[in-house]
Structure 1
């Protein structure tokens, strides 16, 4: 079994570094091109299950890659709820709360690492129950937690999995042990 993990394409807020949780921000032209470059790579795959975040940027990426018609919206793939930090850049948050790290501290008025970990665990269980390969279309922080949870690490370990926009990663198994096969893969023309 392989799990194809696709982070949505670039948005204006991902360019500026603003924390984009629940705010609907469309893909930029470059973000749409990133998604379209993944299309031929993913077209060679057959998926037993395609799950997508309900947020516009993930759904648009899924559509451009060619799986919108078969995708099932899964709220568990929504981005981390940043609460009071929604729309802020890291330096703005650091000015208010020096040393802040989302994977350790969570967000006031938003989600804690424990809450997002529980949400992601439900997605992992659904993915493992599929009868074949799976594609997941979602967002940076939630997918970083998903990678950590896939291999049995705590949500906090998501801090070790950097993830750019418009990237393709693959989770799988080494014998019966959950493993990361590819992470943060760029698809070029």
Structure 2
């Protein structure tokens, strides 16, 4: 049964994939194609129970396996794969925790510096701008399966903010958010909601 608030205007529901071993360990997991944990698979099923009765105009998904698996277990087995929805390229930070990176680079800040041999937030914002432009063209409800930093940067760009302002938006595995417009202005309608999760 759909438990989302009743929105009487177009909206975009942004879903972060379920838990992986790296996300559970609070490690950066970008382009390395990890699988969901058993808990992550259960989270994906909870997402489906929450969202499957909505009449979605479009369902878009990152090409990475953890996002595609989340969509499938949620009951959306044939989403449109959108390359630009992939996670941030963490380069040399892949698989490390923030604490490990800071032990090597004490002055490092993700949102200011990006990742060595990876992306900067500005570069990720440029590819996600293409997604934002497309999302603005829809007239109904759109469902998006993606990743933590990708969603945070996409949301900043949706609001017309610089990509690095994604730092303001925390996002947990299998949580969902809703963005849209109100009186012509981009808005956040729901953020980092996990009330659908059974555990």
Q: Same fold (TM over 0.5)?
A: yes
Q: TM-score, normalised by structure 2?
A: 0.91
Q: CA deviation at 1:60?
A: 0.3
Matching residue of 1:28: 37
Offset at residue 44 of structure 1 (A):
2.1
Which runs of no fewer than 5 residues in structure 1 stay unpaired? Answer: none
1:111 aligns with 2:136: no
Tell me the C-alpha RMSD between the 2 structures: 1.0
1:7 to 7, 12, 16: 16
Deviates more, 1:35-44 or 1:3-12: 35-44
Q: Tell me the CA shift for residue 154 of structure 1.
A: 0.6
Normalised by the size of structure 1, how large is the TM-score? Answer: 0.96
Q: Structure 1 residue 77: deviation in Å?
A: 0.6
Which residue number in structure 2 is paired with residue 85 of structure 1? 93
What does residue 7 of structure 2 align with?
A: none
- More helix per residue: 1 or 2? 1
Say if 2:147 is the partner of 1:136: no
Q: 2 CA distance for matches of 1:68 and 1:128?
A: 24
| Alignment partner of 1:47 out of 56, 59, 84 | 56
Q: Which runs of 4 or more aligned residues in structure 1 lie more than 3 Å from their structure 2 counterparts after TM superposition?
A: none
Give the number of equivalent residue pairs.
188
Partner of 1:182: 190
